[in-house]
Each structure stands twice: as C-alpha cells, then as structure tokens.
Amino acid sequence: MEALMVLLAILLQTLLTITTTTAAQFDPSAPIQVICSGDSNYTSNSAFESDLRSLLTSLATSAPSNGGFFNTSTPDNTVYGLAQCRGDKTPTECSDCLNRSASTILSQCPRRKQAVLRYDECLTRYSDKRFFSTLTTDGTQMLYNVNNASDQTQFNRQLGRLLNGLATNASRDATRFAEGEINYTDFVNLYGMVQCTRDLSGSDCLSCLTGSIADLPGCCSGKQGARVFNPSCYLRYESSLFYAPVSPPPPLPGLTSPPPGAQTTHSDGNKKNSSKTVIFIVAPTIAVLAFISAIAICYWRKKPKKKLPLGDGDQQQIQSAESLLFDFATLRLATVNFSESNKLGEGGFGPVYKGELSDGQQIAVKRLSRNSVQGLVELRNEVVFVARLQHRNLVRLLGWCLEEEEKLLVYEYMPNTSLDKFLFDPIKCAQLDWRMRYKIIEGIARGLLYLHEDSRLKIIHRDLKASNILLDGSMNAKISDFGLAKLFNLEQTQGNTSRIAGTYGYMAPEYAVKGQFSTKSDVFSFGVLVLEILTGRKNSGFHESEQATDLLTYVWKHWTEGTTQQLIGRAPPGQFPSREFHRCIHLGLLCVQGNPVDRPTMSFVVLMLSSHSLSVPAPSPPGYLLQSDQSSESSALLRGDLDDADGFSNQNENKTHSRNTISISEIEPR
C-alpha cells in the first residue's frame, strides 16, 4: 500500500510538471524573431520594393512544394531571398506560415533592405546582398520557460545528450532537421528539435547548433523548455511533445546496438504502439560526428589498423573516435603529398599542412615528426579529449590517421592560422584593432571557461599560448592543441607532476618550479596571453626595458606608475579606448598574480569582460616578481631566457625545456 501511494505521488507530480510546461507556451501567431537591418532604406514604389514583393510571393509559393525550403534571387540580383519551414510541418501548414510571414516582414521592417522574420513554424529572410551558404549567428536570441526542472543535474545531463545527438543528425541529413526524445525520469521525457537553413554545409550547421547549445547554460540551465535561434539555425526543447514526429534518420555509422540511455524517436504519435528506431548518442562526442562532411572519402582499410594506447576509461571514447579514421592515401592526396607549398607551420608535434578533400572541404593536417618527442600519448590525448568536447571557441577535430609509421591529426582549417602570426608581426599586427583584440580575448576566455566548468569533463589545457590560439575566417579565436591536457575529476582542484610539460613564458610559477597544476595555472597562462594581446609584445625573450626583464614586470611597473596607456604598441594610435584598455590590463594582472588562490576563476573573467560595472579587487604583484623563494635559474626559466641546449634539475628529476615557440611533452603515459 505504501509503495502504491509513493507511485501515485510521483504520477501526480509528473502530471503537474507536464501541465505547467504546456501552459507556458509562447503565442504561435506572433513572430519570435524580427531583425531589420541594411546599410540604407529603399524608397516607396521603387523598383527594389516591386522586386522584393515579387520575391516574397515566389518564396511563399515555391517553398512548400520543394520540401519546405526555397532560396532564390531576382533576375537582376537586386534582392536575395530564402524561405524555410520546420521539418515536421505539412505543405499546407508551411504555405500558411510563409504567406503570413510575407506580409508581416514588410510591416515589421518597412523599407529595410535586409530582414529576417522567424515564426516557430517558418523562417523568411531577404537581403540586397548574397547570403546563401553563409553561417550567420548575429542576432542570436533565447526564450525559455520560467519553470525549473526538479532534478536539474539529471535534467541538464539528459538535455545535453539529446541536443548534441540531434545536432549531429541534422548536420548529416540533407534536410538539416532532426527531432527526438530522451528519458528525463522514468515518467517524463524531454523532446527536442533542431534545424539549420538547408543552404548551409553540414559542418556549418553543426557549428551553428553546437554554438547555440553552448549558449544554453548562460540563460536556461535547468529550465523545462527553451528556444535558441538566429538567422542560420534554431533549436527548441520541451518536457512535452511539441512537434509532429517524422521518420528518423539512420543510426550513426559503426554502432550496432544501443548504448545505455539511448535516445529513441517514434515513427508516429502513438507512444505505446509505434515502432521505434534507435538514434545512437554517445554523449557528447560531437566532434567525432563533425567528420560527416568528409565521410564520403574516408573508408576502413581491410587490413588491421593500429590501435591507440588506451588508458583507464578510454575504451568507449576510442571506439567512438575510430569512426574518424582517415586513410593515409586520402590525406596524402589532399595535401599534394605533404608539399612545402601547403605547409602552414610547425610545432612541437610536427608540421601542419593545408589540404583539400575531394568534396572541396578544406582541412589542416598535423603530421607527427619522426624525431618528435611527442607521440602516441599526445595523439591519443587529442583524439579522446577533442572528440568529446564541443564549443565554438575550441578547434574541431575531424579525424586522425595511424598507419605504419604515420601518425596524423585532421582539423577544421583555420584560414587566418594562429594568433602569434598576427600579434608579433610588425605589419600584420596593425590589422588587430581594439574591437578585434577584445573579441579574441573574449573567445579565449569562453573556451577556457567551457574546459574548466561548463563541459561534462574538467580539463586543464597546460599549454595555452598565442600559437595555440587559431583564428577562423571571421577572426574568432579557437583553442587548439590538447596533447598535454589533463583530465580532472569534477571535485578535483589540483594535480602534481614530476615532469614539467608546457611552454615557458606562459607557465604559472607553481607549475614551472613545483609541478603543481590546476585551473588557476591555466588562468595564469590566459593572463599572459591577455597582456601579450594588449601590448603586442612577447613575454619570453623580453628586451624592451632595462628596468623589466619580462613583460609581466614591465606591465606591473606601468600599472603602479599609472602610465598604462604607454603599453599600447604595434597598433594604430588613438584606436584603443583608454578606460577599456586599462580595465583589460587590470584583468590580465589579476590572472598572473603570484598566489594561485588570488587569481580569478574563468567564470569571473567572463563576467568581468561582459560587465563594466563589476567591482574587482586590486591586483597583487605578478608571479614573476616573487623571486625571493626562487633560484636565479628558476627565475630565468620563468622568463623563457634559458638557452635551448641547456637543461635544469629539480628534485633530481630530469627535465627538458623550450623557448616560447616550442612545446615540451611528457613522455610518461597519462
């Protein structure tokens, strides 16, 4: 009897939860997003207005009969337009929504040459400039249900699995649409839907959706329902069914049985009697599936392949990552046999080459040098960590190759290479105006926050430096090179090692001297990066002042003397806002304080970057100034001034080291 009462109480709570969620729906008759833009307005009764009205009519008529999507332009390319309906809508529902949208967009954005109008069921967009096949995330907006889930930890965990899996399925499906459900509790399901505009490539669709997923914790953590949308993609989730179930996409490649907690999608609305197709989600190995854009030219060799060295708990991740295997012949062809003309640069792992796959996708291939001290351990680290991480400010791993003596990693191609190529080049640095430098600092901060706090893993990067910050075509910063990264338990705060690995000049003092590393040692490296970005000067090999032997001392001197404006260098004069520049110098100095406890967390850093009214403490001297308890040799080490041929000893452990441009590897297995 007691068990029956408990069951009834659970059922009652479930019904109340569903009712609350259902009652909190948004008005479907009103647009959820309106963006009116353009460099200038068109005039009434002009040729542009006539072309626009004809285009909108064409979009509303053609999209429903073309699978819910249509994009075109006027014959003279005066106006470009796109219309798309939600993938679960019938042609009639699609037509009704787009006809309503065609009239509404003209009244909402009168005489504007660019506009986006989104209803829950459809999207209409037009512009006087060509925008097809271009990812656009400007104007991202969020709506959410004010009610919270009862078990927010479980809710967020299951929600991440659901949305990450749907994002993957949408990116690999020609319709760029996916929907599905997952159990939140034994009695309540979570329902999700994601969609990109169908002109986007699979990789751009995945990037848009994973970026939207990454935005959810900032507004909607634990909320029972939410929507995130921008001109290129849309996601929505609820704890009640809000879409019409459609046929699911095929299972993910390489998996033949559902893992525990697998998500299911139904072929009709009858939950009890419908047949089920399993959509396999290996939470959240999204980078593993970003390889879909290149899957057509990647195949399994019939002979046995080498396996990566596995550590405890790696088996599931490696099995998932093996769907990322590239054939060496494919990569050799893509890079023109690793020609010098395709070489992008070289680091501690080895040279990096630009390549192009047969489908036109550009890639970057990192090839392990025969004489490199890095090896299978670093390669395994990259595959296991990067394949499990997804964030717009982390570089995306597309695949790897391990054949005979060849060890290669394949990444998304970053057309603007790495930050150091701009920052420390006397000519290119002028391209980094204040807005761009601030954007890069914010991007690095958000990527690091994800690694430390927001991902389901807790990762210490240990080699954050300018050459490991890659820049995409829009100069968005992406953290790369996880060969030295360390995985922490969520409750763990600090680790120790007898073998120092990283790049001197960016290492925190407690790590370089004592082998202690934590999230705060990453914060120190971030602080060095911030000061380098602001001043355009390298920390290692610093020779610009007789009173300062390193950049941190040099900045601290100007800070204490109130002359921080003199730190601006290698940038057009008058470009940097004095107040914002001073605040960012303040932030950098907070991050490089000698005592790790005094350094801020990355969540505080991101908050400080987004709020100019936040009260912040005064910084204490940087770690490099605390030389009273360090030997002169250790102090020189921290400045990165030791010659490459020399070594040093600490606690009888042999260590190697490098200048700022070379990474040091651990040789022991992790």
- Residue 195 pLDDT: 97
Q: What are the pLDDT digits (tens) for 33-46?
A: 999 988 889 999 99
Question: What residues are paired with 35 via a beta bridge?
Answer: 116
- Residue 294 pLDDT: 35
Backbone angles phi, psi at 372, to 5 degrees: -75, 140
DSSP 221: T
- Residue 406 pLDDT: 83
Residues 358 and 297: their CA atoms lie apart, in Å, by 7
Residues 33 and 559: their CA atoms lie apart, in Å, by 45
What tokens appear for 118 in the block? 């989104």
Provide, for the chain, the percentages of residues in helix, strand and coil under a 3-state DSSP scheme, each rounded to the nearest 5.
35, 20, 45
DSSP 560: H
Which of 165, 134, 131, 152 lies closest to 235, judged by CA? 165
- Residue 666 pLDDT: 32
- Residue 46 pLDDT: 93
Q: Please, are residues 290 and 201 in contact by the beta-carbon 8 Å criterion?
A: no
Q: Please, are residues 85 and 202 in contact by the beta-carbon 8 Å criterion?
A: no
Backbone angles phi, psi at 540, to 5 degrees: -80, 150
User: Residues of the chain whose pLDDT is less than 50?
Assistant: 1-25, 248-323, 498, 626-670
- Residue 542 pLDDT: 64
Which residue's structure tokens are 């009712």? 19
Question: What residues are paired with 155 via a beta bridge?
Answer: none
- Residue 620 pLDDT: 92
Specify the 3-state DSSP secondary structure of 73. strand
Give catalytic residues, as residue numbers: 463
- Residue 348 pLDDT: 66
Q: How many CB atoms lie within 10 A of CB 356?
A: 15
Specify the 3-state DSSP secondary structure of 189. strand
Q: Please, are residues 518 and 496 in contact by the beta-carbon 8 Å criterion?
A: no
Angle CA 352–302–338, to nearest 5 = 20
Q: How many CB atoms lie within 10 A of CB 75?
A: 8
